[in-house]
Structure formats: C-alpha cells, structure tokens
Amino acid sequence: MYQAPRGTFDILPKEQAYWRYIEQKVVNICQLYGYERIDAPVFEDSQLFSRSVGKETDIVDKQMYTFKDRGGNSLTLRPEGTAPVCRAYLEHGLHNLPQPVRLYYLAAIFRYERPQSGRYRQHHQFGYEAIGDGDPTLDAEVIDMAWRFFTSLSLRHLSLQLNSIGCKKCRRQYLAALKEHYARSSKNLCSDCKTRLKRNPLRLLDCKKRQCQPIADSAPRSTDYLCSECEKHFSQLKRYLKLLKIPFTLNHRLVRGLDYYTRTVFEIQPEKATAQSALGGGGRYDDLIEELGGKPTPAIGFGAGLERIVLNLKKESAPIPPLPRPQLFIAHLGDAATEDAVKLAASLRKAGIAAVIAPAGKSLKSQLRQANSLGFTKAVIIGEDEVKSGTAIVRDMTTSQQKTVPLPQLERELK
Ligand code: HAM
C-alpha cells in the first residue's frame, strides 16, 4: 500500500474546519492591515534561496528539495516564502508603487527535516512582507499584526520574543565578541556548535544541547553592540510596542535560522517552548532586496506555521465553527422513485438547497441509517406511493416526524 511520503500528511475532510477557520482569520487580518495577496510558484531557481537564506544555514545546507528539470535547470521547492516574494517584487517592478508594498501569502513550504510533532517535510505558512520602508513604525505594525492574528484565533498562553541583531556594520563587532567568548569554551561545545563557530557563529545562540546552554546564556548580547542608528531604531520599536500594549520578552538568544535578517527579529512562542514549537517568526531584512539585485530597500515580514496553529487550537480545545454541510438527504425506493430522486436533487440544488442522494439498491432502513450517521437533520423519502401521488415524505431526522408534501411545494417547504 502506498502511504503519504514521510513528513507529509493528508488533510482529511474532518480536519478541514480548522484550516478554513485559520484561512478566514488570515484573510480578515490582511484586509484589516491593508495587505494584498500574492502567489508565487512552488519552485524557484535554486540560487534564489542559497543567496537569500544563506549557504551556511540548515535550510540551504541540509533541507532543500533541489532537482534538475529536463532542461538541466537547478530548481528548488520553496523552503520559505520571503525570497520568492522579494524576487517577484523585483521582477514586476513593484518598487515603482507607493512604498511600502504590503503583500501576504498562504503557501506550502518544503524542508527535508527529521519529522516529529510540529515539524514536517511539507508544511504550510501564512506569511506577509512589507517592503520599502525602514521605519520602526512598520516593525511595530508587523508585530502588532502577528499578535492580533493569534489573539483573533483565541490562542492563549503565547509569548512574544524580541531581539535586535543589528545591521551589517555593527554585526561585525558583535560577531567578533561572540566568537571570542565561544572560543574560550570551545572544548565543551557540541560538535554542531564547533562547526557553527567556524561557519555561522550567530547560530551558536540557537543551540538546544544541554552542554552548550551555560555558554550561550553567558554570551555577549547583540543589543549591547548596536550602532547608534540600530539602537535608536530598537528603542523606538519598543516604545511603540508599549504604546500598543503588546507584551514582549527581550531574548538575546533569539537569532532566527535564516541569514537575511537585520535589526528586529521576533518569534511568537507557546508558554512551554521547545525546539519546534514556535508558532511564527519574522524580522527585518534590510539588505535582501539589494542582495538579489535591486536598489537598497528595507523590508520586514513574518511567517506562521499553520500545522502548529492547528496543533495548538486542538490542545486548547478552541471552539472551531463547523463547515456548512449539505442539509438534505434524498432516500428513494424503486426504479421510478430513483428517477424522481435524481430529478428532485437537481432542481433543489438549482434552488440553492444542498442535497445528497442515497446510494441506489439499498433498503429504506439502511438509507436512513446512512443519513443518520452522516449527520443529516432532514431527509426526503420517495417510494412507489409517492411517485404515484406526485408527493414526497419530508422526515425530520432528529424527531423522526414525517409529513407528506406535494412535489411542487417541496422547495418552499424545505426552505
Ligand atoms: P521560519 O521561522 O523558518 O521563518 O518559519 C516560520 C514558521 O513556519 C515557524 O515559526 C513554524 O511555525 C513554521 N515552520 C517552519 N518549519 C516548519 C516545519 N518543518 N514543520 C512545520 N512548521 C514549520 C521563515 O520561513 C521566514 N520566511 C519568515 C519570515 C517572513 N521572515 C520574514 N518574513
């Protein structure tokens, strides 16, 4: 028997209410903040990701689904949503529009990760990007929007973790201090951190191995090394967040797993955070558009994992509005009745009444049993007598009360 590939799963009909609920909240929040939808292709030129996300990141180094197409081009299934949006911004000249350009997406994302609860090889993200403005009011907007999105989902017990990792200029000094600190304890580091020390020192702070915790906790803080512009930007952002009454926790170990970030980085985490529990994360990426060939263009964005949201909604037993279901079940007995049932189903649907017809060749009892187990509240029954008299029986499935209605009046009766 075939199975869904490891780390992927089917979203069965009984799960769909969660997904539609979240999508509805996404559409509402984006409309409220003036973000417009963009859909990029599922795959892109592989270099787009190595140049933006960074060659030394886990994503590019170990997790991309990269393949050569029949024309010999190297393509990659998108492992994140920001780089494709930036590529589209440049390709379609969106810098000619009034800035910032506010865009959002709902997209499947592919990462070859070790699957576990909350971590999959295909997941879905709600992401949004505001491109073309460096002011901290935009950082506050993007964070406020993420916070309001989770509140609107009725998710509680969340925390907002915040940090500033500075710009190209001040980062250099910080990285030197960080490396010096780690070099002093290098023999106590896990093997991954030994590599990170050489290849991507910022990521040292992200290590979850127990032996590395004391070293990471006592490491120098990026916020102590910010240049005056980054310092001003960060304190203004904190002021705005206080004005907006958004509670945040400064977390000097928050660095994020993608290389394009500058200045503000943030994550929304559940109270009991683990390595794969962040519900969403984002930050500024003021150099990315230029890195991809555009003019210097500051930008900021956020991405949230829908699977993790569903997991948390379930954990908190959040009330999810049910999806609309067909209202009416049409039972029929005998060939002539089946013909009438087929015609009736078509005319009711034309009138906007959602109807499901019973499978043919079953006893009335078994048809009604099916109606019950599918949760129908109303059934229409047509047998030989009803065909002869041009009527149908309308049955209330919860009370079992029945009444005979002439066919021409059925639509009005059901409405
Ligand atoms: P990210 O932190 O890599 O950021 O992913 C965003 C969110 O996607 C995570 O917080 C998590 O909820 C979810 N996620 C990530 N990987 C997985 C996985 N393997 N399985 C399930 N869920 C996952 C980004 O991707 C950035 N592009 C976000 C961003 C937008 N930054 C600026 N703009």
Based on the fold, state whether residues 93 and 123 are members of the same structural domain: yes
What is the model's pLDDT at position 306?
Answer: 98
Residue 270, strand partner residues: 158
Q: Do residues 127 and 187 lie in contact, with contact meaning Cβ atoms separated by under 8 Å?
A: no
Q: Does residue 21 sit in the same domain as residue 113?
A: yes
Looking at the structure of the chain, the number of domains it has is: 2
**Beta-sheet strands, E only, within 289-399:** 299-305, 328-332, 355-357, 378-382, 391-396
Question: Which pair of structure tokens corresponds to residue 64?
Answer: 């991309």
User: What is the pTM assigned to this prediction?
Assistant: 0.94
Same domain, 270 and 402: no
* Residue 97 CB contacts under 8 Å (≥ 6 apart), including other chains: none
Q: Which residue has the CA at smallest separation from atom 17 of ligand 1?
A: 119
Note the pLDDT of residue 113: 95
CB–CB of 103/85 below 8 Å? yes
For residue 100, whether the previous peptide bond is cis, meaning omega lies within 30 degrees of 0, is yes
- Together in a domain, 40 and 161: yes
The answer to whether residue 257 is domain-embedded is yes
Does residue 158 lie within any of the structural domains?
yes
Question: What's the confidence (pLDDT) of residue 275?
Answer: 66
Long-range contacts of 273-279 (CB under 8 A, 24+ apart): 273/159, 275/208, 276/116, 276/117, 276/118, 276/119, 276/308, 277/118, 277/308, 278/305, 278/308, 279/150, 279/155, 279/158, 279/304, 279/305, 279/308, 279/309, 279/312
> What is the residue range of 388's domain?
328-414
The domain that holds 122 is classified in CATH as 3.30.930.10
Residue that finishes a domain, picked among 282, 315, 348: 315
CB-ligand 1 contact for 111 (6 Å cutoff): yes
User: Are residues 281 and 158 located together in one domain of the fold?
Assistant: yes
Regarding whether 380 and 265 lie in a shared domain, the answer is no
| Whether residue 290 is found in the same domain as residue 345 | no
* Residues 146, 69 share a domain: yes
Q: Show which of 268, 283, 315 is a domain's final residue.
A: 315
Structure confidence by residue, pLDDT tens digits, 322-332: 998 888 999 99
Residues of the chain with pLDDT under 70: 275
Same domain flag for 362 and 284: no
Mean confidence (pLDDT) of the chain: 95
Residue 139: closest CA among 247, 290, 268, 263: 263
Q: Are 107 and 246 in the same domain?
A: yes
- Looking at the structure, tell me whether residues 160 and 66 fall in a common domain: yes
**Ligand 1 atom, smallest distance to 79 CA:** 25
Instruction: Establish whether residue 277 lines the binding site of ligand 1, counting it when its CB lies within 6 angstroms of any ligand atom.
Output: no
Among residues 267, 282, 315, which one ends one of the domains?
315
Asked if residue 218 belongs to a domain, the reply is: no
Residue 406: give its domain's CATH number. Answer: 3.40.50.800
Q: Is ligand 1 within 6 A of the CB of residue 411? A: no
Which amino acid would we find at residue 309? Answer: I
